[in-house]
Amino acid sequence: MSVSRRVVIDVGHTESEPGAVSPFPPNLSEWEYNSRIAALAHNLIYTADVTVLSRDRGTNGYRDLPGKINAFSPQLILSLHCNAATPTAFGTEMIYHPGSIAGARFATILQNEVSSAMGWLESDTGYRGIKSPIGGRGATLLQQTCAPCVIAEPFFLTNEADCRKGIEHMNDLAEAYARAVNGFFECSNF
């Protein structure tokens, strides 16, 4: 019996409030970059129906995002971002909700797929790993969504080498996200 499943891909930020921007041409913002990635990954996900969305623009957009996602009753949620910090910070990390076993599993699959797309070995500093901060980054989204949810931070838009790699490896990254979603569902009994 086939069961229909849905994954929501949340493209972080909005077109008019697009998040961090790469410091050199093509000066891609988080929103633009991840919109392209989401469209590429969408075509490669064969284990679930895919809904791509973003928060609504304006001050309540982030607060209302979990409800907007939950309305689609997904079994899995992938929130696409890029990291930003001091220029020296670099690497790949995934954020999931503390205590969520399925979230940790999806984060681990994503961490391994995305790191290898970015060229990191597990022993490299750039393999920053999976993280579950309590009440930290993305807490509203992670706490209030009704399915395993991971915030993906594949590289730092504030680090030049990282950012160039991210732009160069867009197709690899989209494939990595799709492989992670397919891998999660193929090993799950829904």
User: Which positions touch Zn ion (CB under 5 A)?
Assistant: 12, 19, 30, 81
Distances (CA, A) of 181 to 12, 18, 84, 133, 187: 18, 25, 25, 23, 10
The minimum distance between CB 32 and Zn ion, in angstroms, equals 12
The minimum distance between CB 14 and Zn ion, in angstroms, equals 11
Cβ-based nearer residue to Zn ion, 105 or 138: 138
| DSSP state at residue 56 | P
Cβ-based nearer residue to Zn ion, 47 or 111: 111
The minimum distance between CB 3 and Zn ion, in angstroms, equals 32
Give the nearest residue (CB) to Zn ion: 81
Cβ-based nearer residue to Zn ion, 80 or 109: 80
Cα dihedral sign, 126-131-136-140:
positive
Cα dihedral sign, 112-116-120-122:
positive
Cβ-based nearer residue to Zn ion, 48 or 152: 152
Cα dihedral sign, 38-44-45-51:
positive
Q: Are 147 and 74 in contact (CB under 8 A)?
A: yes
The minimum distance between CB 141 and Zn ion, in angstroms, equals 11
